Amino acid sequence: MPTHRPLILAHRGFSAKAPENTLAAFEAARLAGADGIELDVQCTKDGEVVVIHDERVDRTTNGRGWVKDFTYQELQGLDAGSWFHNTYRGQTVPRFIAVLQWAKQHRLLLNIELKTGVVQYPRLEQKVVELIRSQQMTERVLLSSFNHYSLRTVKRIDPRFRIGLLYMCGMVEPWLYANRMGASAIQPYYPNVIPELMAGCHANRVMVSPYLIDDIKVMKAMAAMGVDAVITNHPDRMRLVLAEL
């Protein structure tokens, strides 16, 4: 059994319990004992970095359209809670800076995913880096993306920032690629996690932080293989699993 326990990163906050990527979901994750929060960032028409998963607002708010076509003020007028449950009416799409300040206050880690795969947001990487620096949070964040060009941009802006390479499948010896990219972590879809991958990554000082670990059997298997963090919609469940090991 590995000697370290994995960090628990709540995927879009405690999104099984509260509307994803809202302050309510982040606070619920904190109260459930998560070590940190995974969240997604995009940009409004007027250049505000905001926390939302989809490129469109339709699924998680009462509005319609692309995030990039809203000003921040327009976006703030949308309800980001009632789609989940009417007790969350009034939740809004958070500004990224507000989440940084909240996480700093509570000494939580942040795994910030740059959503640059579908819509290209001019200078999003630069803006995110500057906002994190403005809160002296560089040491407490990991920037991740499925778009590895975005992560290379982050490293070019400031090599001190830690990056995590998200991928779904098909990466051979990912620790070699991670080292070449200067990545601290790989973030594979969990079925990729096998002992050979764990050994290769840890021998090369690359952390393994898979997603999406929601099933109890998978939670136990990931912990037994020694992953460094799990990204889960159920931080409460993962805490119970770890407590019983």
The neighbouring-strand residues paired with 143 are: 112, 163
Closest residue to ligand G3P, judged by C-beta, is 211
- Site stretch for Ca ion (CB under 5 A), options 98-106, 108-116, 169-177, 191-199: 108-116
The binder of 211, among ligand G3P, Ca ion, none, by C-beta within 5 to 8 A per type, is: ligand G3P
CB of 49 to Ca ion, least distance (A): 15
CB of 146 to ligand G3P, least distance (A): 7
- By CB under 5 A, name the one of 20, 48, 79, 113 that touches Ca ion: 113
CB of 38 to Ca ion, least distance (A): 6
CB of 34 to ligand G3P, least distance (A): 13
The binder of 20, among ligand G3P, Ca ion, none, by C-beta within 5 to 8 A per type, is: none
CB of 30 to ligand G3P, least distance (A): 18
The binder of 231, among Ca ion, ligand G3P, none, by C-beta within 5 to 8 A per type, is: ligand G3P
The binder of 162, among Ca ion, ligand G3P, none, by C-beta within 5 to 8 A per type, is: none
Footprint of ligand G3P (CB under 6 A): 11, 38, 40, 53, 113, 166, 187, 211, 231
Task: Point out the catalytic residue in the list 53, 85, 148, 234.
Answer: 53
User: For the CA atoms of 241, 2, 163, 130, what is the dihedral angle to 10 degrees?
Assistant: 60
In this structure, are residues 30 and 47 in contact, taking their beta carbons and an 8 Å threshold?
no
The neighbouring-strand residues paired with 165 are: 145, 186
The binder of 35, among Ca ion, ligand G3P, none, by C-beta within 5 to 8 A per type, is: none
106 catalytic per annotation: no
- Asked if 20 touches Ca ion (CB under 5 A), the answer is no
Instruction: Count residues binding Ca ion (CB under 5 A).
Output: 2
53 catalytic per annotation: yes
Interatomic CA distance for residues 41 and 130, integer angstroms: 14
Known catalytic residues are 11, 53
Q: Which residues bind Ca ion (CB under 5 A)?
A: 40, 113
